[in-house]
Amino acid sequence: MTAAFTVRVKDETASKLDQLAEKLDRSRSYMAAEAIEAFVEQQEWQLAEIEAGLAEADRG
């Protein structure tokens, strides 16, 4: 299942996204979805590592 929503970005960012999409023969939507997925995965990983470090510090 997929969800659709609107995201506002600076004109410069949209232009760069369009250029990348064209060079990679992908749609703007595909590129934006890939970028969001990568960001979410990175943030989840980082938060998990921070939480693990805090738990370890609490254990001494």
Model confidence pLDDT, tens digit, residues 6-19:
999 999 999 999 99
CA–CA separation, 55 and 22 (whole Å): 45
Q: What sign does the CA torsion over 6, 39, 31, 18 have?
A: positive
- What is the average pLDDT score of the chain? 95
Is residue 60's pLDDT more than 90? no
Q: Identify residue 18 by its one-letter amino acid code.
A: D
Element (H, E) at 5: none
pLDDT (tens digit per residue) in 34-43? 999 999 999 9
